Chains A and B, each alone.
Chain A
């Protein structure tokens, strides 16, 4: 049976591709209608509703959204909502689409979440490079203020909410929740030690909830249709629908919103049209550059956040929902090196294992890729990498403040899992070839 998308957050922007971001179109679609009855309900009811729906964060960590909201300490004010729109995980492009295509849906979600956690100030931290997204969100915010959906005394409820759009300026680690808070405070986006968790001490040392754009865009639909409706979709503890960004060597790269529980095969071969040009699958990365890789034999694994992390033979994660597909002509070492280069560039430099380790991984992978590797290089990386991602499995242990450190090892762990013998043999050949080059004295 052919697989189909189950569109919830992406439904409207797909239906009205020419003007879905305008207020007029949004109002025709019924966006903001939840605000008519929202304020009749107790904030705790909204938290419970979202908890019951089983919605988990769509940024990467997959923490229960309602549960996160309930961690706020009682009676501590002010408190804040920070919306994480710093989408930077390589090959993820869903929030980009949501903020450009349906900013009013996001604003509606922000109002609901803000009311649920009883904050009067929300910040949207939007990736600096999203110029059109920032333009559309700013325009949508201005319209929402003018209509009284945001601002003082929303819908005559007596509830006030200010939403500030804050543009980033080019930095991957601002997408980490505590890195984002540092950046929002006007500092280098360096992550902070937890605890204290942001819900206790976040931005300006006040209780702060950080939620991803896709997560908040989902909330209005849960309010409209009920927790049971949402929880009825999906599988096990992976409820509802989720956007997957599929790219690389596929016929139809793009964002696909699917009910969790379908398989990687459904997603890659069904929705994305299979490997480009009818070629053979080499390997694929299931959840952004931070996640360990998978092979053809894993295609029938379900898109279930917990399954891939605990039961799959090669443990990994669904992460940010970014699936990168490579055909069998791609050298895994090339991809491993490029990811290492990315992490070395984006390491903020705060924790020694990551600052030093990410750079050394890049250097060693570079020489391996370019014919200067040694047979022991793989074990060399696994050796010092064990200080970066203790245990070298998934989820790895931590020696750094944030997940960037251990994530740098995912490509190397994958090389070792799937191509260990091949790589050692290739490095031996390269070493022999080099030793056959005569060295002339004085040359």
Chain B
């Protein structure tokens, strides 16, 4: 989808912060993902136009970064760390559990992530980039369900405040 008029204004503000337009690539991709829930091909084309780049260049940058999703992933992204500290604190078990539990849930996307810099909370997860830990399987279920029901307000899919 194209940027809404309000977001287009915001996009122009963001571009103006940088000495060179191209630096706005990452912020604009975040903005597009916040608006549409994922980074659509149309968004990459529009960003390319705003920044005087080709869509291929924008795609090349976009596909390098794990936070940008180039397919719809639902409303909640659950990032489970299995790196070196979580590895020995049940991280892999928690990942398997959550991946199974939400396998068929179109609203919840469970992914394995590399160290998210909160090892004192191991095993740690992020729900839309909000940190939670340490968590048992049950506590994690409860937490994700609270986000699903709206009892907890989630950040945007790119982690912007809501």
Which one of B4-12, B61-69, B98-106 is at the A interface? Answer: B61-69
Which one of A1-9, A92-100, A152-160, A378-386 is at the B interface? Answer: A92-100
What is the minimal beta-carbon distance from A3 to any residue of chain B, in angstroms? 19
Q: Mark B5-37, 1 if CB is under 8 A from A, else 0.
A: 000000000000111101111110110000000
A167 touches B88 (CB 8 A): no
Measured in the bound complex, the distance between the Cα atoms of B67 and A78 in whole Å is 32
B126 in contact (CB, < 8 A): yes
A264 in contact (CB, < 8 A): no
Instruction: Please indicate the chain A residues that have their CB under 8 angstroms from the CB of B159 in the complex.
Output: 128-129, 131, 134
Which one of A43-51, A186-194, A299-307, A353-361 is at the B interface? Answer: A186-194
Measured in the bound complex, the distance between the Cα atoms of B58 and A169 in whole Å is 14
What is the minimal beta-carbon distance from A395 to any residue of chain B, in angstroms? 21
Which one of A67-75, A334-342, A366-374, A423-431 is at the B interface? Answer: A334-342
For this complex, 30 residue pairs linking A to B, each with C-beta atoms less than 8 Å apart, are A89-B115, A91-B119, A121-B19, A128-B67, A129-B129, A130-B129, A131-B129, A135-B161, A164-B17, A166-B27, A169-B29, A169-B65, A169-B66, A170-B113, A171-B65, A183-B26, A185-B23, A186-B23, A187-B25, A189-B65, A204-B20, A247-B85, A253-B122, A289-B83, A289-B84, A289-B115, A322-B119, A326-B88, A339-B84, A348-B64
What is the minimal beta-carbon distance from B153 to any residue of chain A, in angstroms? 13
A396 in contact (CB, < 8 A): no
Q: Mark A58-96, 1 if CB is under 8 A from B, else 0.
A: 000000000000000000001000000001111111011
Instruction: Please indicate the chain B residues that have their CB under 8 angstroms from the CB of A115 in the complex.
Output: none
**13 additional contacts (CB under 8 A) given A95-B117, A188-B64, A248-B122:** A91-B119, A129-B126, A131-B130, A167-B27, A169-B66, A171-B66, A187-B22, A245-B119, A247-B122, A248-B119, A253-B120, A324-B85, A342-B114
Closest B residue to A322 by CB, please name it: B119
Q: Which of B20, B84, B129, B161 contacts A185 (CB 8 A)?
A: B20
Measured in the bound complex, the distance between the Cα atoms of B144 and A212 in whole Å is 34
What is the minimal beta-carbon distance from B115 to any residue of chain A, in angstroms? 4
A93 touches B118 (CB 8 A): yes
A132 in contact (CB, < 8 A): yes
A91 touches B85 (CB 8 A): yes
Measured in the bound complex, the distance between the Cα atoms of B113 and A346 in whole Å is 11
Instruction: Please indicate the chain B residues that have their CB under 8 angstroms from the CB of A88 in the complex.
Output: 114-115, 117
Instruction: Please indicate the chain A residues that have their CB under 8 angstroms from the CB of B143 in the complex.
Output: none
A334 touches B87 (CB 8 A): yes
A184 in contact (CB, < 8 A): yes
Question: Which among A92, A162, A188, A289 has the greatest number of chain B C-beta atoms within 10 A?
Answer: A188
Q: Which of B18, B26, B160 contacts A169 (CB 8 A)?
A: B26
Measured in the bound complex, the distance between the Cα atoms of B68 and A171 in whole Å is 11
Interface bracket on B: 35 or more
Measured in the bound complex, the distance between the Cα atoms of B86 and A334 in whole Å is 13
What is the minimal beta-carbon distance from B134 to any residue of chain A, in angstroms? 9
Measured in the bound complex, the distance between the Cα atoms of B28 and A167 in whole Å is 11
Measured in the bound complex, the distance between the Cα atoms of B130 and A253 in whole Å is 20
* A interface size (C-beta, 8 A): 57
B51 in contact (CB, < 8 A): yes
Measured in the bound complex, the distance between the Cα atoms of B139 and A365 in whole Å is 33
B114 touches A345 (CB 8 A): yes
Chain B binding surface SS class: loop
Q: Which B residues have a C-beta under 8 Å from some C-beta of A?
A: 17-20, 22-27, 29-30, 51, 60-61, 64-68, 79, 82-85, 87-89, 113-120, 122, 126, 128-131, 155, 158-161
Instruction: Please indicate the chain B residues that have their CB under 8 angstroms from the CB of A171 in the complex.
Output: 64-66
B122 touches A129 (CB 8 A): no
A249 in contact (CB, < 8 A): yes
Closest B residue to A254 by CB, please name it: B120
A168 in contact (CB, < 8 A): yes
What is the minimal beta-carbon distance from B38 to any residue of chain A, in angstroms? 13
Measured in the bound complex, the distance between the Cα atoms of B113 and A330 in whole Å is 21
Closest B residue to A86 by CB, please name it: B117
B160 touches A131 (CB 8 A): yes
Instruction: Please indicate the chain B residues that have their CB under 8 angstroms from the CB of A218 in the complex.
Output: none
Measured in the bound complex, the distance between the Cα atoms of B29 and A427 in whole Å is 47
Q: Which of B23, B88, B113, B158 contacts A249 (CB 8 A)?
A: B88
Instruction: Please indicate the chain B residues that have their CB under 8 angstroms from the CB of A285 in the complex.
Output: 84
In the complex where A167-B27, A186-B61, A187-B61 touch, is A131 in contact with B155 (Cβ < 8 A)?
A: yes
What is the minimal beta-carbon distance from A110 to any residue of chain B, in angstroms? 16
In the complex where A131-B129, A131-B155, A335-B87 touch, is A170 in contact with B66 (Cβ < 8 A)?
A: yes
What is the minimal beta-carbon distance from A365 to any residue of chain B, in angstroms? 14
Instruction: Please indicate the chain B residues that have their CB under 8 angstroms from the CB of A10 in the complex.
Output: none
Q: Mark A96-115, 1 if CB is under 8 A from B, else 0.
A: 10000000000000000000
Instruction: Please indicate the chain A residues that have their CB under 8 angstroms from the CB of B131 in the complex.
Output: 132
Measured in the bound complex, the distance between the Cα atoms of B87 and A247 in whole Å is 11
In the complex where A129-B159, A131-B159, A167-B26 touch, is A248 in contact with B84 (Cβ < 8 A)?
A: yes
Instruction: Please indicate the chain A residues that have their CB under 8 angstroms from the CB of B20 in the complex.
Output: 185-186, 204
Instruction: Please indicate the chain B residues that have their CB under 8 angstroms from the CB of A254 in the complex.
Output: 120
The 9 closest A-B pairs by CB, nearest first: A186-B25, A131-B159, A170-B66, A247-B119, A169-B65, A170-B67, A131-B129, A186-B22, A90-B115
